[in-house]
């Protein structure tokens, strides 16, 4: 499933940064979409690795925010190289699993990590810093 948020922003559409969020939990999807839209990002939300790859075949976001614990055959660490084969983009990995976050920090495909549960302000600062 894909959801795009086009909430009004003070930025013009030509300078608006885009972010692809790969997250299967609806509650987290809503928090991230609202927070990142308020920060001026054009948000595309998908809930599976398949939907992420299909989306990346059509568009290239400025950043990917990737849940590492997707309920599919591929976890986020396995998905990251496939993302980068489609476009060169910073990937921020999110997880509640300390072990997966450690693996992500050691991965050459992951730009940054965020532990769940996350502080939204800290996550937004990290995204803004990487997008700059």
The domains of the chain are located at: 2-131
pLDDT grade for 12, boundaries at 50, 70 and 90: very low
Residue 73: its pLDDT value, please? 66
- Residue 106: both structure tokens together: 């050691």
Query: Which residue spans within 2-121 are E strands per DSSP?
Result: 2-5, 18-22, 42-46, 63-67, 91-95, 112-115
* pLDDT tens profile 14-67: 468 999 999 999 999 999 999 999 999 999 999 999 999 999 999 999 999 999
pLDDT grade for 1, boundaries at 50, 70 and 90: low
Q: List the CATH code of the domain at 2-131.
A: 3.40.50.2300
């Amino acid at each position: 499933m894909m959801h795009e948020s086009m909430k009004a922003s003070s930025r013009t559409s030509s300078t608006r940064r885009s972010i692809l969020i790969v997250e299967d939990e609806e509650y987290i999807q809503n928090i991230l979409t609202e927070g990142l839209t308020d920060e001026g990002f054009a948000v595309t939300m998908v809930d599976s690795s398949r939907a992420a790859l299909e989306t990346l075949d059509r568009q290239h976001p400025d950043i990917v925010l990737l849940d590492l614990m997707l309920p599919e055959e591929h976890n986020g660490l396995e998905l990251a190289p496939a993302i980068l084969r489609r476009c060169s983009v910073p990937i921020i990995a999110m997880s509640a699993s300390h072990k997966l976050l450690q693996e992500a920090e050691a991965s050459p495909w992951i730009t940054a990590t965020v532990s769940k549960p996350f502080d939204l302000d800290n996550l937004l600062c990290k995204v803004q810093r990487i997008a700059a």
